[in-house]
DNA sequence: GGCGGTCCTAACGCACCCCTAACGCCGCTC
DNA sequence: GAGCGGCGTTAGGGGTGCGTTAGGACCGCC
């Protein structure tokens, strides 16, 4: 299920858009202003973002800039202004698409499908096996041999990030920003703790990790 | 240099667009009809495609469909029709963006930059091969033959600088300033040390370097 | 109110990485 | 052939990052 974050300050418009998106199979999270949007995006990272430019206090470009500091989620910008300079500013600030109000809902849905294609082509979730450890991320289930192992929400969150980029080295900044949200990039002790937890539960010999390897000074790598 | 394939049947428009794109640093290949476009795309795969929908014989949607059979290159569709159904058709057929004529050239360029961002972020993980040594800077991973070689943070940092400018001679001042920061331009012993480390880990015969060559009195050169 | 579970902070060894210094070698200059 | 500067190599000490443990704060549930 694709999760969409809708950011717009007009309650009626926001609600109408949310209803339409839900009727087309999306899971919708709505925010009324920039701060709420950033907070929601950090707590439960969405798959797509629909962002209105005309927000009070923190405007759309501001939201986009701060979001892009740690996230690469596709963002579709909505705006009442069709001025070319506005479009260029938003697109160069990190937006993936720009639609001017009023717009046809069919076009918006089609453009969302384009962004969805890109996301889903990256993420494919099939069960992973490490020796006698089986990880089924979709079903939120881990079994070691015959017996089941329980993971806490934070452990799952961390494991998800690794499953998304197998073999790649993930810097501590990336991991911290992804799991604990932006602003927690300095809580390294936390990351060390949960890496130990994952290893204790998923590695055959936790003191000699094979699948969750640390590269000193760089970060951690998940080896399937 | 980003390669753009421009497909449009109107010679004047095609030429004008090509000139504009070239003046903004793109390498442009132009095609006047669908068959020529597909042939060119197959011969020398472009990084981006700008496709007019109103082509004779094989129309834009047809080109898009055949292209998508084997290529995932980003495609920006141009069209004189602003009808919502046309946009939906093109986007669902595999287009990444849809711009209606007449359009502001600034907007088109901004939208091309968006697609360019995506291509370059994917191509970030393009591994480099030196003999039986494989360097994947994106995944932070180096393998010599079958076994993996670990590099320290400073070694990676230094290697990154070389990978960014292959074949170019880099002065010691440049290297020192880039890796150790400005002010460390005199710590040449340091640089010699880490060059030795890189050679020991990446050269087949470290005492006779082939890829990391010193030019006495000048600096070092990376030969892929 | 008691209790199990989860999450976070702080502190302590230990290993490893980075830097400095010194020495031998080669090629260039005179 | 002697002197010199630049380069490659080795060894050792200081510092930092990592794994680990213990303890307390917070929340939901019985």
CB B141 within 8 Å of CB A169: yes
Q: What pLDDT is attached to residue B145?
A: 87
The full length of chain B comes to 224
Alpha carbons B157 and B190: distance in angstroms, whole number:
13
Domain co-membership, A99 together with A130? no
Domain co-membership, B41 together with B143? no
pLDDT confidence tier of residue A146, bands split at 50, 70 and 90: confident
Q: Which domain holds residue B11?
A: 3-121
Q: What pLDDT is attached to residue A224?
A: 85
Q: What pLDDT is attached to residue A132?
A: 85
Q: What pLDDT is attached to residue A42?
A: 78
Number of inter-chain CB pairs under 8 A, A vs B: 72
Residue A129: phi and psi, rounded to 5, are -115, 130
pLDDT confidence tier of residue B123, bands split at 50, 70 and 90: low
The mean pLDDT value for B86-113 works out to: 96
Quote the mean pLDDT of chain B: 92
A85 touches chain B (CB under 8 A): yes
Please check the confidence at residue A62 and state whether its pLDDT lies above 90: yes
Domain co-membership, B21 together with B112? yes
From chain A, pick out residues whose CB is under 8 angstroms from the CB of B106.
84-85, 87-88
Higher pLDDT, residue B200 or B82: B200
Given A97, A106, A168, which is nearest B139 (Cβ)?
A168
Domain co-membership, B142 together with B41? no
Q: How far does the CA of A196 sit from the C1' of C11, in Å?
A: 17
Can you read off the two tokens belonging to residue B204? 């087949």
Q: Minimum mean pLDDT among A123-127, B12-16, B38-42, B212-216: which range?
A: A123-127
Please check the confidence at residue A164 and state whether its pLDDT lies above 80: yes
Specify which residue's alpha carbon is closest to the C1' of nucleotide C5: A152
Domain co-membership, A93 together with A153? no
Domain co-membership, B214 together with B142? yes
Please check the confidence at residue A2 and state whether its pLDDT lies above 90: no
CB B61 within 8 Å of CB B88: no
Angstrom CA distances, B172 to B169, B186, B218, stand at 10, 9, 7
Please check the confidence at residue A174 and state whether its pLDDT lies above 60: yes
Given B97, B104, B150, which is nearest A97 (Cβ)?
B97
Q: What pLDDT is attached to residue A127?
A: 82
Closest residue in B to A110 (Cα) is B88
A86 touches chain B (CB under 8 A): no
Asked if strand C contacts A149 at the CB level, meaning under 7 A, the answer is no
List the Cα angle B163/B165/B169 in 5-degree steps.
Answer: 120
Which nucleotides along chain C are within 7 A of a protein C-beta? 5-11, 16-22
Q: What dihedral do alpha carbons B46, A169, A185, A152 form, nearest 10°?
A: 120
Q: What pLDDT is attached to residue A160?
A: 92
Higher pLDDT, residue A142 or A121: A142
Number of domains in chain B: 2
Final residue of a domain: which of A121, A155, A177?
A: A121
Q: What pLDDT is attached to residue A135?
A: 92
Alpha carbons B179 and B187: distance in angstroms, whole number:
11
**HSE-CB for A104 with a 13 A CA cutoff:** 11
Domain co-membership, A38 together with A107? yes
Quote the mean pLDDT of chain A: 90
* pLDDT tens profile A107-141: 999 999 999 998 765 555 668 888 889 998 878 88
B141 contacts A169? CB cut-off 8 A: yes
Please check the confidence at residue A189 and state whether its pLDDT lies above 80: yes
pLDDT confidence tier of residue B1, bands split at 50, 70 and 90: confident
Q: What pLDDT is attached to residue B122?
A: 66
A96 contacts B114? CB cut-off 8 A: yes
B113 contacts A169? CB cut-off 8 A: no
From chain A, pick out residues whose CB is under 8 angstroms from the CB of B72.
121
Please check the confidence at residue B54 and state whether its pLDDT lies above 80: yes
We report the CATH number of the domain holding residue B45 as 3.40.50.2300
Closest residue in A to B110 (Cα) is A88
Please check the confidence at residue A201 and state whether its pLDDT lies above 60: yes
Kindly report the three-state secondary structure assignment for every residue of chain B: CCEEEEECCCHHHHHHHHHHHHHCCCEEEEECCHHHHHHHHHHCCCCEEEEECCCCCCCHHHHHHHHHCCCCCCEEEEECCCCHHHHHHHHHCCCCEEEECCCCHHHHHHHHHHHHHHHHHHHHHCCEEECCEEEECCCCEEEECCEEECCCHHHHHHHHHHHHCCCCEEEHHHHHHHHHCCCCCCCHHHHHHHHHHHHHHHCCCCCCCCCEEEECCCEEEECC
CB B99 within 8 Å of CB B120: no
Final residue of a domain: which of B95, B121, B147?
A: B121
Q: What pLDDT is attached to residue A89?
A: 96
The mean pLDDT value for B188-196 works out to: 92
B96 touches chain A (CB under 8 A): yes
Q: How far does the CA of A3 sit from the C1' of C14, in Å?
A: 45
Domain co-membership, B138 together with B102? no
Asked if strand C contacts B208 at the CB level, meaning under 7 A, the answer is no
Q: What pLDDT is attached to residue B124?
A: 61
Domain co-membership, B114 together with B143? no
Please check the confidence at residue A25 and state whether its pLDDT lies above 70: yes
From chain B, pick out residues whose CB is under 8 angstroms from the CB of A109.
88
Q: What pLDDT is attached to residue A187?
A: 83
Over pLDDT 90: what percentage of chain B?
A: 75
Q: What pLDDT is attached to residue B62?
A: 94
pLDDT confidence tier of residue B69, bands split at 50, 70 and 90: very high
The mean pLDDT value for A52-76 works out to: 91
3-state secondary structure (DSSP) of residue A109: helix
Q: How far does the CA of A152 sit from the C1' of C5, in Å?
A: 10
Domain co-membership, A79 together with A156? no
Which nucleotides along chain D are within 7 A of a protein C-beta? 6-11, 17-22
Q: Minimum mean pLDDT among A5-9, A204-208, B67-71: which range?
A: A204-208
The full length of chain A comes to 224
pLDDT confidence tier of residue B82, bands split at 50, 70 and 90: confident
Q: Name which of A154, A165, A153 is nearest A128 in CA terms.
A: A165
Question: To 10 degrees, what angle do helices B153-164 and B188-202 make?
Answer: 90
Asked if strand D contacts A153 at the CB level, meaning under 7 A, the answer is no
Hey, which residues 103-122 in chain A have their CB within 8 Å of chain B? 104, 106-107, 109-111, 113-114, 118, 121
Q: Name which of A115, A76, A80 is nearest A95 in CA terms.
A: A76
The mean pLDDT value for A13-37 works out to: 94
Alpha carbons A147 and A141: distance in angstroms, whole number:
11
From chain A, pick out residues whose CB is under 8 angstroms from the CB of B141.
167-169, 221
Distance from CA of B138 to the nearest CA of A (A): 7
Q: What pLDDT is attached to residue B57?
A: 84
Final residue of a domain: which of B87, B121, B155?
A: B121
- Sheet strands side by side (includes B48-52): B27-31, B3-7, B48-52, B75-79, B97-100
Domain co-membership, B113 together with B143? no
Strand-pair partners of B52: B78
Q: What pLDDT is attached to residue B131?
A: 85
Radius of gyration of chain B (CA): 23
List the Cα angle A122/A123/A126 in 5-degree steps.
Answer: 135
We report the CATH number of the domain holding residue A137 as 1.10.10.10
Domain co-membership, A111 together with A145? no
Asked if strand C contacts A193 at the CB level, meaning under 7 A, the answer is yes
């Amino acid at each position: 299920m694709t999760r969409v974050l809708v950011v717009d300050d007009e309650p009626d418009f926001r609600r109408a858009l949310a209803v339409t998106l839900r009727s087309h199979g999306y899971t919708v999270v709505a925010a009324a202003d920039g701060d709420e949007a950033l907070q929601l995006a950090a707590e439960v990272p969405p798959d797509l973002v629909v962002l209105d430019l005309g927000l009070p206090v923190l405007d759309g470009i501001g939201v986009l800039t701060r979001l892009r500091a740690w996230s690469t989620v596709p963002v579709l910008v909505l705006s009442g202004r069709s001025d070319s300079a506005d479009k260029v500013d938003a697109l160069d600030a990190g937006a993936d698409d720009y639609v001017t109000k009023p717009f046809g809902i069919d076009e918006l849905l089609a453009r969302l499908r384009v962004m969805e294609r890109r996301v889903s082509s990256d993420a494919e979730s099939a069960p992973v096996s490490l020796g006698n450890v089986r990880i089924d991320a979709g079903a939120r289930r881990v079994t070691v041999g015959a017996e089941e192992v329980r993971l806490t929400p934070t452990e799952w969150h961390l494991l998800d990030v690794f499953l998304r980029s197998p073999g790649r080295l993930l810097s501590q900044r990336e991991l911290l920003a992804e799991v604990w949200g932006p602003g927690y990039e300095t809580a390294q002790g936390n990351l060390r703790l949960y890496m130990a937890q994952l290893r204790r539960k998923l590695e055959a010999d936790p003191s000699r990790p094979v699948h969750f390897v640390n590269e000193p000074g760089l970060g951690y790598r998940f080896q399937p």
